[in-house]
Structure 1
């Protein structure tokens, strides 16, 4: 099927229009359907408070809301690089800069022969589905590191590993983008450079700040967030007589009551099972195309997202970014998965901030919203794994298609396409 191409000028125009709309929504954040100020409050109240602690050389070790790896400190300190602006203004400006970088990198990759600008279009038009949330969280910056890591793989496995490690130091999930690196020298190089970059960066944080690993204690105390799959099950159980309730703790609305610990344990078991499935896929995979590392990254993050105890709205930023990377390649098998991710993203914005009161109250409307959103994500995760698994099964006739061997086509070197 031939895909409609997008021009670079039209992408630039769409980016400017949609980002202007997102800024307008940010400026009107106090409106009831936009969260009554809850979206931006995290930046000017929480992030700016952490900035004060970090600027004095210490991580907020005694703050139960601090649940992030030490690299997050660097991101939260970065607004200080823009003097003359308030912390909030500088944070939004840097987030927009990271957003523009992702768009430019996707467009550059998509403009190459044999590639597609569909990925850049998906990011440009998909991110605004979350309204103004992306501008008030630092997940765009993390996604930028993951996107750059994946798109540098074909040129430099060292850069790929280094960017993945930097992303993992900000929020752990970018480490998953290395799962699909081609076997052999490419994997050894990327993973080695990731390990070296991570170790050196951690040493620098340990030398510059107190309590760099304090986040581990707070992260372990997390419960079942109301927007997770487990939270959706418990919310529905309230209508069947379950006596639990929703309560704000650890920076999110979590469910408390009987069986919550069992649901949390089940989520951890499912995460472990997902990891085992991904390892089994990698062991049994025998065929790589240029899109396989992209497809594997989206699949891995999807599986870890749907089995998590927490599925915050900003997690959709990660999935939109990785889906966009997949669509830069004409050989991706994740196109239907990308469509499901976009649908789930749109529903997420309706649930939060639009009708979050319904979600917190576990009303039938709130339960239905989360059932639809999480159902879409679960379907996307299963479909992603099935399509990834099938795409890497050995074929006796040939390993690569004619289009993959054609000069200038979207491909990795031939040695990276087959298992060593």
Structure 2
């Protein structure tokens, strides 16, 4: 007689009171299907396979709601219990090169990688079943209004699934004509705003920061797009990142309907960092604890972030990271089930950041520039833990010092954290 054990995903459904929904999805109706699933979710010893019926047990196993192996180390935690929204990074490609951009080191030199609809559809369907989209879906880049972008198809998919949406753009397309987005062409900017509305866009987010010193013509385009949205009744948001007061007042005057969202500057990827000193011993772990989430976002995140190549992570300020898993190889439910055993999740949940930094980061502190923000420090620790875990899994012996130095140099370059070269 075999046993059936609950996965973290099933216990998540129980916590969200969604077991009735799952019972309706099973192939073999049962008078008390939800009750049996509740028993399974609460039991540490599992239930006999035949309790739910062979067909139902097989369906639960195939969909990763249950397992036939007793979990080691007791019942795993539910690190996704607090998730309320998902952020899709459709591409790291952009037609601008803003000095403060977190993603600048990841800009593709050749053809861009785009997150595709076939990958996103099961993600959204499973996230909706798990109630991880209570605040909705954000679509961002790079820049999402581009010739190869699937953003319009993704907005239509979210509309079909009744998922609230928000989209970021740098508004380069304001005052433009013959705008192409994926397979769609629009006569002008007003037609594109109309297309976004038709696909149920909840809010269009426009950035307000120092990029207008680099691109003086861009501000007029941002105001143009915002004005078109106001006239059409499309909700807009202005994300103000260290915007000059006079600039902010001008935008508020011309776009009175815009929601103004403050967002402080984060120094990852900054082209001209404030400091160039090497990191001092031990300060990175203490700095990470001063991040907005106090590092809790790594083991009980409120948002999940998906990279263009399908990687899933729990921190906005670590672009390119995918430590929770990859949607091209795993379903969201599989990623949920494995999250409690994830290297990064366990590290941040353990409270051992200082020991990790002392062993794995401090000896190579000269490779990195100085850090000034807690989110930067936390993101660096997470990316390093992710990369170490991957390399150690692939190696049949401990990494050599030369391999470790190469790892750090690559990571510093990818994250825009390289120390300045001495003259």
Q: TM-score range by the shorter chain?
A: under 0.3
Q: Which has the larger radius of gyration?
A: 2
Higher-strand-fraction structure: 2
Higher relative contact order (CA 8 A, sep 6+): 1
Higher-helix-fraction structure: 1
